């Protein structure tokens, strides 16, 4: 049994942060508060099938999609866990249209938190893995009063830390603070996240592709060609690839991160900006995957370098094993779409 199995998330964060001379411990406390929220959400997700909290609230969220109770529960839980710590100046959630102000007295923190409380929520009723995604920036607005929209609209490259929690056969928290990617598994007996996947490195080339092929008709012709290419037989390049798509970004990317793979949510003729949100989904996942040696692009440029224009902006994404992402970029660049 390796000694890493007794490394708790709390201790790991403190040890990692103590390597930086300027570290005040604030980020460690912030990540600790997040892990507490993750434990509570995990508990709720696990009992979702037992208590009567599954089902639609009847409301639509700001994207016009139906919101399930558990989404709102996770959203509320995160706000409760995070808004009195004194480490944040502002927050934003995929489930709320505007930025979320921190109560006065507590809004003096230097960090900004963006989160998707429960991603993949269409899978809740089927007991399929879902996840929470978070992204942390330093405040850029002047002064030490409430944070602003500007703080929430930073390019992903400025992230200080990012992570996700996957509620699967066990609950795992995977995070990066810019020095590698580390995965922790929640031990339900101790209620502690224990280091199970130190320094995750994703394979440079894979054998797995993840995309909703039901949208094939509406894709860019270069993407259609690429998927057909992956399905052809060629031993030298390990083709055909296997197709794996859960429809839960956290779970799909988590699997691909460990085994190698490319996850795609492209733009198409019906959704010219794709589906996933730059600030809540694409940027944190891009930071994690790059830290693990992978690549993330919107087909044309690096996700992390895109300057967000609005809080709930959507962005096409191609993310995962470096060589695979480069190949799809090439296919898409080679086929010019005729303009009518
Ligand atoms: P959500 O934030 O409303 O849960 O939507 C995001 C999810 C992702 O987890 C997943 O990759 C994608 O939507 C699946 O979409 P589709 O059903 O169109 O394939
Ligand atoms: Mg989401």
* pLDDT tens readout for residues 194-241: 999 999 999 999 999 999 999 999 999 999 999 999 999 999 999 999
**What's residue 9's pLDDT?**
92
Whether 203 maps to a domain, the answer reads: no
Ligand 1 probe mutation, 45, 114, 212, 284, most atoms within 8 A of CB: 212
Q: How far is the CA of 275 from the centre of ligand 1 (A)?
A: 7
Nearest bound ligand to the CA of residue 67: 1
Whether 134 maps to a domain, the answer reads: yes
| Owner of token pair 């892990």 | 35
**What's residue 57's pLDDT?**
60
**What's residue 1's pLDDT?**
41
| Ligand 1 atom 6: residue of nearest CA | 120
Q: 3-state DSSP call for residue 238?
A: coil
Q: How far apart are CA 298 and CA 301, in angstroms?
A: 6
Tell whether 167 and 296 lie within a shared domain: no
Q: Over the stretch 42-61, which tens digit does the pLDDT of each residue have?
A: 998 887 766 555 555 666 76
Whether 33 maps to a domain, the answer reads: yes
Q: How far is the CA of 247 from the centre of ligand 1 (A)?
A: 6
Written as one string, the DSSP assignment of 144-164 is SS---HHHHS--GGGEEEEEE
| Ligand 1 atom 18: residue of nearest CA | 212
Domain count, the chain: 2
**What's residue 23's pLDDT?**
74
Tell whether 219 and 238 lie within a shared domain: yes
Nearest bound ligand to the CA of residue 116: 2
Stated pTM of the model: 0.93
Tell whether 229 and 262 lie within a shared domain: yes
Sign (positive or negative) of CA dihedral 28, 29, 35, 41: negative
Q: How far is the CA of 118 from the centre of ligand 2 (A)?
A: 7
Q: How far apart are CA 98 and CA 62, in angstroms?
A: 10
| Ligand 1 atom, smallest distance to 252 CA | 11
Tell whether 28 and 162 lie within a shared domain: yes
Q: Which residues contact 128 (CB under 8 A, 6 or more apart)?
A: 120, 246, 247, 248, 251
**What's residue 339's pLDDT?**
58
Tell whether 53 and 174 lie within a shared domain: yes
**What's residue 228's pLDDT?**
98
**What's residue 25's pLDDT?**
83
Nearest to 9 by CA among 174, 188, 202, 179: 174
Structural domain harbouring 293: 208-334
Ligand 1 contacts (CB < 6 A) are: 65, 116, 119-121, 212, 247-249, 265, 275
**What's residue 44's pLDDT?**
87
Tell whether 30 and 130 lie within a shared domain: yes
CATH number, domain of 70, equals 3.30.540.10
| Ligand 1 atom, smallest distance to 122 CA | 4
Tell whether 229 and 183 lie within a shared domain: no
For the chain, residues with pLDDT lower than 70 are 1-5, 21, 49-59, 61, 65-68, 337-340
Q: How far is the CA of 143 from the centre of ligand 2 (A)?
A: 32
């Amino acid at each position: 049994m390796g000694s890493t199995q007794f490394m708790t998330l709390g201790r790991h964060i403190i040890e990692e942060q103590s390597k930086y001379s300027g570290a005040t411990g604030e980020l460690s406390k912030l990540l600790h508060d997040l892990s507490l929220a993750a434990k509570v959400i995990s508990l709720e997700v696990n009992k979702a099938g037992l208590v009567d909290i599954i089902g639609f609230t009847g409301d639509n969220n700001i994207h016009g999609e139906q919101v399930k109770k558990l989404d709102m529960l996770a959203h509320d839980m995160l706000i409760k866990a995070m808004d009195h710590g004194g480490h944040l100046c502002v927050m934003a959630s995929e489930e709320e249209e505007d930025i979320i102000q921190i109560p006065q007295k507590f809004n003096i923190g230097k960090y900004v938190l963006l989160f998707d409380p429960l991603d993949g929520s269409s899978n809740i009723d089927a007991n399929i893995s879902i996840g929470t995604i978070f992204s942390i920036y330093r405040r850029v607005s002047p002064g030490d009063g409430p944070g602003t929209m500007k703080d929430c609209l930073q390019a992903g490259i400025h992230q200080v830390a990012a992570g996700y929690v996957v509620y699967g056969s066990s609950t795992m928290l995977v995070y990066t603070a810019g020095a590698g990617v580390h995965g922790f598994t929640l031990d339900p007996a101790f209620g502690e996240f224990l280091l199970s996947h130190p320094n995750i490195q994703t394979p440079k080339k894979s054998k797995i592709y993840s995309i909703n092929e039901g949208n094939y008709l509406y894709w860019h012709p270069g993407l259609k060609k690429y998927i057909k290419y992956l399905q052809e037989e060629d031993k030298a390049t390990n083709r055909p690839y296997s197709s794996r798509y859960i429809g839960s970004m956290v779970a799909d990317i988590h699997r691909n991160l460990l085994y190698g793979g490319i996850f795609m949510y492209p733009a198409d003729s019906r959704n010219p900006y794709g589906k996933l949100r730059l600030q809540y989904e694409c940027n944190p996942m891009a930071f994690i995957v790059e830290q693990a040696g992978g690549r993330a692009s919107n087909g044309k440029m690096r996700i992390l370098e895109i300057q967000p224009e609005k809080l709930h902006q959507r962005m096409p994404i191609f993310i995962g094993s470096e060589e695979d992402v480069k190949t799809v970029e090439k296919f898409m660049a080679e086929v010019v779409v005729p303009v009518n």
